[in-house]
Structure 1
Amino acid sequence: MPRSIYLLPLPLLLAAAMMAPLASRPPQPAPAAEEDVVAAAARDPGTMTLAPDAEARWIPFQLTPGNQVRFQMTIDGQAVTAILDTGVSFTLLAQNSPLAAKGKVRPGGQASAIGGAVAIGWMPTRTLSLGGLSRKGGGVAVAPLPALATGDATAVDLLVGRDLLAGHALDIDYAAKRFRLIASGRMPFTGATAPLVVSPERRVYESAVGLGAAKLSPVIVDTGDGSALTVTQAAWRAARLTSLPTTTAIGFGLAGPSVNDLAIAPTARLGKLTAHEVEVRIEPPQGFSESVGVAGRIGSGFLQRYRVLLDPGAGRMILAPGPQADAPAPRSTVGLLLGVASDRLRVLHVMRGGPADKSGWHEGDTICAIDGQPIPRDYVDSPMARWTVGQPGTRVTLRTCDGQDRVLTRARFY
């Protein structure tokens, strides 16, 4: 079964988590008390070098339960954990990382994120190494980076963003769980092509998507967003797909939670590629995408179906089908989005119109056993976790942690 973050219960994390694209706001006049704020235009970009053997320097990664690409790299000679995030305009260091504690962090203004605005700092760095890419000088933005926003039980140190990635081609081999940075213009594999640019306004990767009757543009291409496709309400209406059944899903960004409608679109078009059975989230009015002036986002929940080459310097992305490219989108048949901590599951969201909604489940309810089996410590990776997508019409008995047995009859509801 392909990974789908709104279906897989995650360690301490919503099963529907959305990673937050972090797009810089236009520079604002600083009040007198903030004259030392390091504005985006004043940040030292550093000097980057791509090694002659960069193509051989693959970086292994883990795909987190939230569909993020998690790996290791080094900053100032220290190993850090990181997530690949083309929806972040400036590489972001977690405020509670040991590196931030050691460095000199200055105010850096504000940035837009899912859930609202976040205050950021700016910290200079000496050296940075990522596969075949190295950088001398430069710096990183600094902000709170909770595990809820990064798709795993354990928080990471860093989100690697556009400022480090966009000067080169990014080759992500999801099936082999590895990626590399290579010279722009190279084409190491063939596949369907689609346009790709870095927008001067938002400084993130952007493309266009065909959905129903609409061509949606611009759309952020965001490897840090665990969802498949997210669109604004205006874009959803333009697509003329409002007759499709919808439910709800919740996600967490850097600035907090967001509840969206959720549907499965028959097809979506990305350049010369037509994908089938695509999970689509529809943001509420004034949601993140609308607030930063885009029609939506393409996330890792979609991209992971393919081997992907992102090369904004050459103006293109390339997608070659992977083993799960044509698999139908998995759908919840119980309507519970769950987090897992130790020996229990916690309800983080009850999907509208699902069996759980109709039988009185609520956010905060806890589950300690499924069909008589206690929740194991390896629950997320165990076959037991598939109970949320069981066959419609079948029943499951859930024992709450206060000792009650509650029966759900699975159903297809969106």
Structure 2
Amino acid sequence: MLDDRTRLDFPPSGAAELPLLFAPRVLRCTAAGPGGHPLTVLIDTGTDPSAIDLGLARRLGLRLGDFALGSDATSDGVPFTETVLPWLRLGDLHLRELYLLAVDLGHAPFKLDLVLGYNVLSQLTLTIDYAGRRLRLCHPDLDPPAPGPGGAVLPLRFFEHFPALEGASLLAATGRGATAALHPCLALPLLTIDTGSNGALTLSADLAARAGLCRTDDQPPARGHGFASGSSVLQGVAPGLRLGAFELREVGLDAPEGRGGDLGRAGRANLGNGVLARFDRVTLDYRRALCVLEPGDTIFGS
């Protein structure tokens, strides 16, 4: 096994800003690295550690170790090996000796060269400016931005290195339309934050059943994709989601039908960009274990 010696060199200001490529509703940006061509990078709070496309690693002549089987969101049979990328530059932020898993990322439904996960993100504070389509990567010594009017700071918990929020719940509606009263119907004790997901709220099979999400004849399952595998998924809509002091209406639900991978485990609830992007800005401060939410105009509606 290789040691993870990933190092981040911040600019004198302590922060780097990058344009956010937010299609298809995931956090991507462009980076410079070995090989002389721009690299498309996914910022993914739901990945640990970071990853590189296996084909790219081979083209760059990176040293590869022995192969083993790992997991992604829906599969427990993903071949991977270890490697190290000498350098990567994200704007003014330089990454050195970046430890990566080399995985075939060709199944991803969008262009993707690298995925930056926990071993990088835990060394910085990440601000996602959904409204301004910008990413801000800050040295952890810098204080996180204070929430604006109507904003909130929530404590972060960590589930196997994935940032998570406690105390969320799905809401049911009494009455109809915009005036319907919402009330809790299903507690979500731990809700992981997954910026690599373009869904809204993904549930494991047991939680999906309790939420009333099931296959119907008039709505066949859609297809979902992880980095290295895919799965049929059930889809639906919850009347609401309570997240801290926020009550969001009409929240999309999905649930992989397979039983493998991270989301095949019981009790998993995963918050993707379909909900996160209702906020103007989201900040994840790994060192202080804080999540700063700044609401936008679409926070209460879809």
Q: CA deviation at 1:100?
A: 4.7
Partner of 2:177: none
Instruction: Provide Cα deviations, 1:235-265, integer angstroms capped at 9, x if missing partner.
Output: 23445x5699894322111332211221111
Corresponding position: 1:197 with 2:157: yes
- Aligned-partner SS, 1:125: strand
Alpha-carbon offset, residue 290 of structure 1:
4.6
On the 8 A contact 1:132/1:181 being kept in 2, the answer is no
**Match of 1:24?**
none
CA distance in 2 between partners of 1:47 and 1:98 (Å)? 19
CA deviation map 1:334-365 (0-9, x unaligned): xxxxxxxxxxxxxxxxxxxxxxxxxxxxxxxx
Per the alignment, in what secondary structure is the counterpart of residue 81 of structure 1? strand
SS of residue matched to 1:52: coil
Alpha-carbon distance between aligned partners in 1 of 2:57 and 2:125, rounded to the nearest angstrom = 30
The equivalent of 1:324 in structure 2 is 298
Instruction: State the partner residue of 1:88.
Output: 47
Q: Which has the larger radius of gyration?
A: 1
Question: How far, CA to CA, are the matches of 2:44 and 2:87 in structure 1?
Answer: 20
Distance 2:196 2:263 in 1: 19
Determine the structure 1 residue equivalent to 2:225.
Answer: 252
Which residue, 170, 192, 201 being the options, matches 1:229? 201
Q: Residue 294 and residue 130 in structure 1: after superposition, are their counterparts in 2 closer, same or farther (change >3 A)?
A: farther
Tell me whether 1:188 sits opposite 2:145 in the alignment: yes
Query: TM-score under structure 1 normalisation?
Result: 0.61
Structure 1 runs of 4+ aligned residues shifted over 6 Å read: 243-246
Q: 1:132 to 1:311 in 2, by over 3 A?
A: farther
Q: How does 1:269-308 map to 2 (within 5 A)?
A: 269-284=242-257, 286-292=259-265, 294-306=267-279, 307-308=281-282
Instruction: Label 1:77 to 1:252 Cα distance change in 2 as closer, same or farther (>3 A).
Output: closer
Between Structure 1 and Structure 2, the one with more helix by share is 1
Give the conservation status (yes or no) of the 8 Å contact 1:126–1:137.
Answer: yes
Structure 1 residue 106: deviation in Å?
1.5
Contact map agreement 2:213 2:235 (CA 8 A) in 1:
no
Match of 1:140 in 2: 100
Alignment TM-score, normalising by the size of structure 2: 0.81
Q: Relative contact order (C-alpha < 8 Å, sep 6+): which is higher?
A: 2
- Which residue of 2 is the match for residue 72 of structure 1? 30
The residue that corresponds to 1:130 in the other structure is 90
RMSD: 2.7
Distance 1:122 1:298, change over 3 A: same
Q: Which residue of 1 aligns with 2:64?
A: 105
Aligned pairs, number: 279
CA 1:244 to 1:259, structure 2 compared with 1: closer, same or farther past 3 Å? closer
Q: Identity, % of aligned pairs? A: 24
The SS at the match of 1:127 is strand
Code of the residue aligned with 1:112 in structure 2: it is S
CA contact (8 A) 1:289 1:297 kept: no
Residue 61 of structure 1: how far off its partner (Å): 2.0
Q: Offset at 1:84? A: 1.1
